[in-house]
Amino acid sequence: MKPLWFKAATATNPGLLVRLGAIGAVMLSVTGAFAYTGGWLSPERLTQDRMMAAFRDANGTHVGFRRNHAKGVCVTGWFESSGQAAAISKAAVFKTGHVPVVGRFALAGGTPFQPDAPNTVRSIALRFLPPGGEEWRTGMNNIPVFPVNSARGFYEQLLAFSPDPATGKPDPAKIKAFLAAHPETARALALIKKRQITSGFADSSFNGLNAFRFVDAAGASLPVRWSVVPVQPVAADAAEQPEAGDENYLFDDLIAQIAQHPRQWRLIVTIGQAGDSTDDATQPWPEGRQQIGAGTVTIDQASSEDSGRCTAINYDPLVLPAGIEPSDDPLLSARSAAYARSFTLRAEEKHEKPPSAVTPEQVQVGGKS
Amino acid sequence: MTAQPRFPAASRLLHWLMAPMIIAMLFIGVGMAASVSRHYDLLVSIHRPLGIAILGLCVARIVNRFINPPPDLPDTVPSLQRFAAKASHIALYALILVMPLVGWGMLSAARYPIVLYGPVQLPPILPHDLTLYAWLRDLHSVLAYLLFATFLAHFGAALYHGLIRRDGVFGSMASWKSMQFARTNRALIQNSTQTPEP
């Protein structure tokens, strides 16, 4: 039964239904706007969930592991800053001195048990922990440029190179169509193919690929890209197959080498000039750009992901101290967002995660599985 | 319109300062959790300091509520609606207070730096623990949807008072015409209390 006031209002107020309708319309509009913002009304929009679904399609489900660069080991060490980058960045990490580092070596791809292979892209992630708590996190790969220059490009590449369920191999027609639509990727892949492949992680150079901006104490900013270059001598890849059964030979070698004596990389900051692309990671910067030796990264300890200090860390490329700022490269936001979602998923799955390919026991015996 | 006293000025100021902030937070939050676009970084870097600002204002608002109690609802409001109003206000206060704390806590448990602006950071408030992070991250989403639903109910009820019941409840928070409002109120109070002339 309707309350009295309602009857009275209807009787005296023919506009009541209109006003009720208006309230309903306002409620619906606000809800619709919220749903639209959350991506629920736009199946074509590339969201974090859809990016994660593409990783699942490409690699299968591997609970508890990072959705990309899934196979890795934790390392620790320190960064000895030369003080030379302090002139162009006010970040505390670049003042002359000693900064603890927690890192991770990994292989690109979302499969945590893939056998190590020379051509697989290798990566290093570093977390610099200067006094004062202003952290810097960065990930670098042993390739000269990134294969794509947008989140959409990354997504389409992931799907184009996914194994066909029927054959278990990527469909060449799909790859061809993808490369035709993304000439920047075709150009980048040609550069990536030409790179020098070294014998292992310890003698690989790793490049930050995305541009950032260094900001000095006066507020002046410069476009930069950074790399780490091995101090230890570089040996070409042996070009012979590793011993049968040694599926972790790259990681085993690294663990054995670090156990022997610490391994070092120089942190090189390259300063871009006007006209150098900062928003397109598929484009290399010309040779001969000014470079600064910011210091040396020393890695003296390795541990399995299952016990190491890198596991509960998201190497989000946008965890930056004041003095390092993102460039206009759209991949930075895309990486940050996708890493965050991958981190949340594996945190949720932590209790179900199987042991990593490189276990604490293997690290203990010196890296030989 | 019946004589419905207005909320004290401090309460109205806090309400209207926080309303756009909270609505912006809900939209930024749901947007950034879906986004891989170039806006993601900007959204996250607004979300953190805005959340902490809301936390500070929410504490101020709770203190203010004790100093300046809200006016009672008019007697014409049925008891079930009174209960709904009370419950939804408690839910709003609780969610607005807890959401930033859960956000701060989840970033702490993940050991993300809690950057407000430039070098200004907050310390972690919880231990570094992936499972704790996962739990708080999920809670943050669930509470955000609850807060959105409670906001909708609050907004809908306000419009219902303003457009349907027209009982002065909407104006007690929304009216800016203080002098006119006060005059109307005074006149109404006088009319209702004075005995009719013989």
Strand, coil or helix: A295 = strand
Q: Which residue has tokens 């101290």?
A: A321
Q: B177: pLDDT confidence band, cut at 50, 70 and 90?
A: low
- Assigned domain for B102 exists: yes
CB contact under 8 A, B34 and A338: no
CB contact under 8 A, B38 and A343: no
pLDDT at B1: 46
Q: Pick from A151, A148, A124: which is nearest to A138 by CA?
A: A124
Question: Residue A364: pLDDT above 90?
Answer: no
- Mean pLDDT, range B52-59, rounded to an integer: 98
A239 to chain B nearest CA, in Å? 39
In total, how many domains does chain B have? 1
Q: A11: pLDDT confidence band, cut at 50, 70 and 90?
A: low
- Assigned domain for B2 exists: no
- Mean pLDDT, range A329-340, rounded to an integer: 98
pLDDT in tens, B88-131: 999 999 999 999 999 999 999 999 999 999 999 999 999 999 99
pLDDT at A160: 96
CA separation, residue B94 to residues A164, B39, B90, B142, B150 (Å): 50, 30, 6, 14, 11
Polymer length in residues for chain B: 198
Q: A313: pLDDT confidence band, cut at 50, 70 and 90?
A: very high
Phi, psi values for residue A342, rounded to 5°: -60, -40
B68 to chain A nearest CA, in Å? 30
Q: A2: pLDDT confidence band, cut at 50, 70 and 90?
A: low
CB contact under 8 A, B112 and A319: yes
Q: B195: pLDDT confidence band, cut at 50, 70 and 90?
A: very low
Interface residue ranges in chain B relative to chain A, Cβ cutoff 8 Å: 26-27, 30-41, 44, 76, 78, 110-113, 118-119, 121, 123, 128-131, 133-134, 137-138, 148, 152, 155-156, 159-160, 163-165
- Mean pLDDT, range A182-202, rounded to an integer: 97
Q: A132: pLDDT confidence band, cut at 50, 70 and 90?
A: confident
- Mean pLDDT, range A50-68, rounded to an integer: 96
pLDDT at B120: 94
Q: A368: pLDDT confidence band, cut at 50, 70 and 90?
A: low
How do beta strands A206-207 and A212-215 pair?
Answer: unpaired
Question: Residue A231: pLDDT above 80?
Answer: yes
As a whole number, the mean pLDDT across chain B is 90
Q: A1: pLDDT confidence band, cut at 50, 70 and 90?
A: very low
- Assigned domain for B92 exists: yes
The answer to whether the annotation marks A339 as part of a ligand binding site is yes
Cβ pairs bridging A and B (under 8 Å)? 121
Active site residues of A: 69
pLDDT at A178: 98
- Assigned domain for B198 exists: no
Question: Residue B183: pLDDT above 90?
Answer: no
Strand, coil or helix: A356 = coil
Encoded amino acid at A306, one letter = D
* Closest residue in chain B to residue A31, using alpha carbons only: B152
- Assigned domain for B97 exists: yes
| Residues of B with Cβ-Cβ distance to A89 under 8 angstroms | none
pLDDT at A157: 97
Helix axes B9-34, B40-67, angle to 10 degrees: 150
CB contact under 8 A, B34 and A38: yes
Contact, A88 vs A292, CB < 8 A? yes
- Assigned domain for B116 exists: yes
| Residues of A with Cβ-Cβ distance to B128 under 8 angstroms | 312
Please report which helix (H) or strand (E) contains residue A106, including its range: strand A97-107
> In chain A, what are the domains?
62-364 (2.40.180.10)
Nearest neighbour of B134 by CB, restricted to A16, A47, A348? A348
Q: Which residue has tokens 């290798």?
A: A122
Bridge partners of A228, per DSSP, are A206, A267
Nearest neighbour of B134 by CB, restricted to A9, A51, A347? A347
Q: Containing domain of residue B114, as a range? A: 9-193
pLDDT at B181: 52
pLDDT at B196: 44
CB contact under 8 A, B44 and A39: no
| Residues of A with Cβ-Cβ distance to B133 under 8 angstroms | 312, 344, 347
pLDDT at B198: 41
For the record, the structure tokens of A54 come out as 């593409």
Test the B interface: residue of A18, A333, A351 with most B CBs within 10 Å: A333
pLDDT at A5: 54
Bridge partners of A221, per DSSP, are A215
- Assigned domain for B140 exists: yes
* Closest residue in chain B to residue A155, using alpha carbons only: B36
pLDDT at B27: 98
Nearest neighbour of A312 by CB, restricted to B34, B128, B152? B128
pLDDT at A237: 80
Residue A217 CB partners (closer than 8 Å, separation 6+)? A90
Question: Residue A188: pLDDT above 60?
Answer: yes
As a whole number, the mean pLDDT across chain A is 93
Contact, A342 vs B137, CB < 8 A? no
Q: Looking at residue B14, which CATH number applies to its domain?
A: 1.20.950
Task: Using the CB atoms, write b or e for A200-232: b if 16+ within 10 Å.
Answer: bbbbbbbbbbbbbbbbbeeeebbbbbbbbbbee
pLDDT at B4: 80
CB contact under 8 A, A37 and B27: yes
Q: What CA–CA distance (Å, rounded) separates A244 from B148?
A: 58
Q: Which residue has the higher pLDDT, A11 or B164?
A: B164
Test the B interface: residue of A19, A155, A309, A344 with most B CBs within 10 Å: A344
Question: Residue A73: pLDDT above 60?
Answer: yes
pLDDT at B193: 45
CB contact under 8 A, B30 and A37: yes
- Assigned domain for B3 exists: no
pLDDT at A346: 97
pLDDT in tens, A258-300: 999 999 999 999 999 999 999 999 999 999 999 999 999 999 9
* Closest residue in chain B to residue A335, using alpha carbons only: B36
pLDDT at A369: 45
Decide if the complex's ipTM is over 0.95: no
